[in-house]
Amino acid sequence: MKKIAYISILILVVFTSCEYEIDYNEKLPEDKFVFSTFVEEDDSIKFAVMHSAKPGLYEDYYDFDDDIFKSQKRNKYNLSTKDMFVNDANVSLYVNNQLKEMKKQGEYENIVFNYIPQHNDEIYFKIEHSNYPTVEQKLKLDISSPQIDSTGLSKQRIGGDDYMVVYIEINDDGGDNYYMFRPSLPIYSYDATCPKVLYESHPDAYMENALNVSFGDEDEKYNHFGVFSNNKFRGQKYIIKLAYEYASYKDRNTYPYAFEVSKIDYNAYGYLSSLGKFLDMYGPTMNPIIIQNSFSNAYGFISKKKSRKINLKLNK
């Protein structure tokens, strides 16, 4: 497992009328590929070849972001894709030792492969560009589906605010399992990554590797990417109640109340759980961190995932 001390892509650092200088004692790292790709059976493969930001000196928020603001006006995706993607990078997809497709990274959008992977497929990616070292990654899609015993959704008043409270029971199969939660509910965007834990059958399982932030006399914990391991409940039933702050303006009669529970592999878990310590609900922290990274010549992850999307009915 490779470890890196700093990584500055996947997150856009917003500076405010100040000057920040990053002082390195060693030679600055070379620009590298950055990936954040999940591959899941029975789902299309969406792939993005990005690159790392080069550390250095940035002055003033407006100067730093001027090109980004301009590109947002030009670009229907509302992203500074010119600064994100490695244009013309070649991505080859092999399935069970056979070349299926070759795609080229464009300037404005992700790659989407035509092939739909199946259970137990052996997936192999090869990513090439003249300015970057070649990256290869192999996966076998043998991950099992999370076992969900019971779920529930209610609306509760907590501290003067309304919250959507999700109840989940996971029956863990006893393996080395890593989970991810993703809500699809009428909630505030920042709260999707920072819910309140109202109850856990195994205390601190969800927040085992969370970021701790102090606000005066109060301490808060943030599991920014909703990833956690079964370290505290291996082979047992795990019950959790999470509260997400309700955003009434997002709620419609047709709004799909849903919650996704996924199993992910260790590479994605290690990367996201350590990267999450760099973020609180207001943005990057100033604390030095070590990000767990599975590549020797790139950043991020190309990992397997198996999900269950649960449609929830609001209990009134």
Q: Report the pLDDT value the prediction gives residue 70, as an integer from 0 to 100.
A: 40
**With pLDDT > 70 as the criterion, what percentage of the chain qualifies?**
72
Cβ burial, residue 57 (10 Å; 0-12/13-18/19+): exposed
Q: Report the pLDDT value the prediction gives residue 78, as an integer from 0 to 100.
A: 41
| Across 103-112, 128-137, 281-290, least confident range | 281-290
Q: Report the pLDDT value the prediction gives residue 276, as an integer from 0 to 100.
A: 75
* Cβ count near 207 (within 10 Å): 15
Q: Report the pLDDT value the prediction gives residue 63, as an integer from 0 to 100.
A: 34
Partner residues linked to 45 by β-bridges:
none
Half-sphere exposure of 66 (CA within 13 A, CB side): 6
Residue 156 has pLDDT above 80, yes or no: yes
Please report, for the chain, the start and end positions of each structural domain, with discontinuous segments joined by +: 2-142, 148-263+308-315
Residue 282 has pLDDT above 70, yes or no: no
CATH topology of domain 148-263+308-315: Immunoglobulin-like (2.60.40)
**pTM of the complete model:** 0.80
Residue 28 has pLDDT above 60, yes or no: no
CA distances (Å), origin 67, targets 10, 54, 73, 123: 18, 16, 10, 37
CA distances (Å), origin 172, targets 144, 230, 260, 273: 11, 8, 16, 20
Joined together, the tokens standing for residue 210 give 């969370």
Q: Report the pLDDT value the prediction gives residue 12, as an integer from 0 to 100.
A: 34
Residue 3 has pLDDT above 80, yes or no: no
